[in-house]
């Protein structure tokens, strides 16, 4: 009887293979807007990550290898939740899976956005406080329809013509900054992305 229970337990288990992969939250031909370069994304992926797998009342804790891969046996009967780097506020993510739908390696794809936002907030704390994404939502709720632009020596007539068209068409206020830092430009971009969505603008403002 003991052997039979053991065999049933083995039969109800499945080995899963997972791979942690980071990806860019912003990819752009305009390199300043790019969240992180390719080399940094590769470095974020190819390292050891802490994994916590929760399935019903069971919790399994393990670590990936140096390229972000792990293996674990789980119960076939219940869905699983996988927390990656739960100890970190910028490298963490949570995933939920139905085991019946798992056919191949689980790709646990994590955006680099939390890290990118943190980096820019540290570099420009006062600017970030005034123009972060949450503040964009608050500003819109308070009736502020505004977008952030910046001025640099290389700006073209097309840039300013596009700016004027958006201001006129969507009745938005223009806030300009002269030669802001790289970090400020990225903060401005994220602010604008939220404000654009709330206003209903489906075109590039820069």
Instruction: Average the pLDDT over each of 5-9, 55-59, 100-104, 146-150 and give the range with the smallest value.
Output: 5-9
As annotated, the residues of the chain forming the CATH 2.60.40.10 domain(s) are 10-115
Average pLDDT, the chain: 92
Q: What is the pLDDT of residues 96-142, one digit of tens each?
A: 999 887 888 999 999 999 999 999 999 999 999 999 999 999 999 99
What are the DSSP calls for the chain, one per residue?
-HHHHHHHHHHTEEEEEEEEEEE-S---SSTTT-SS-HHHHHHHHSS--EEEEEETTEEEEEE--TTSEEEEEEETTS-EEEEESTT-SSS-EEEEE-GGG--S-EEEEEESHHHHHHHHHHHSHHHHHHHSHHHHHHHHHTT--EEEEEE-TT--HHHHHHHHHHHHHHT-EEEEEES--HHHHHHHHHHHHHHHHHHT--S---
**Is domain 10-115 given the CATH code 2.40.50.140 in the classification?**
no
Distance CA(102)–CA(19), nearest Å, equals 13
pTM of the predicted model as reported, rounded to 2 decimal places: 0.87
pLDDT at 2: 39
Q: What is the pLDDT of residues 13-59, one digit of tens each?
A: 889 999 999 999 999 888 899 999 999 999 999 999 999 999 988 99
């Amino acid at each position: 009887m003991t052997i039979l229970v053991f065999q049933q337990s083995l039969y109800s288990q499945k080995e899963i293979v997972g791979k942690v992969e980071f990806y860019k939250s912003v990819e752009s031909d305009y390199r300043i807007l790019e969240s992180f370069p390719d080399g940094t994304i590769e470095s974020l992926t190819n390292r050891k990550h802490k994994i916590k797998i929760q399935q019903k009342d069971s919790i399994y804790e393990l670590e990936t290898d140096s390229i972000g891969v792990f293996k674990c046996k789980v119960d076939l009967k219940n869905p699983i939740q996988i927390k990656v780097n739960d100890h970190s506020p910028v490298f963490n993510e949570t995933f939920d899976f139905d085991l019946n739908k798992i056919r191949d390696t689980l790709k646990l794809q994590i955006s680099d956005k939390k890290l990118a936002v943190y980096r820019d907030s540290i570099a420009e704390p006062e600017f970030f406080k005034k123009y972060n994404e949450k503040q964009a939502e608050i500003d819109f709720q308070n009736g502020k329809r505004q977008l952030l632009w910046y001025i640099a020596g290389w700006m073209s007539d097309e840039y300013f013509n596009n700016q004027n068209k958006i201001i006129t068409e969507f009745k938005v206020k223009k806030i300009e900054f002269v030669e802001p830092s790289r970090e400020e430009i990225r903060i401005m971009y994220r602010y604008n992305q939220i404000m654009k969505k709330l206003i209903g603008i489906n075109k590039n403002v820069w």
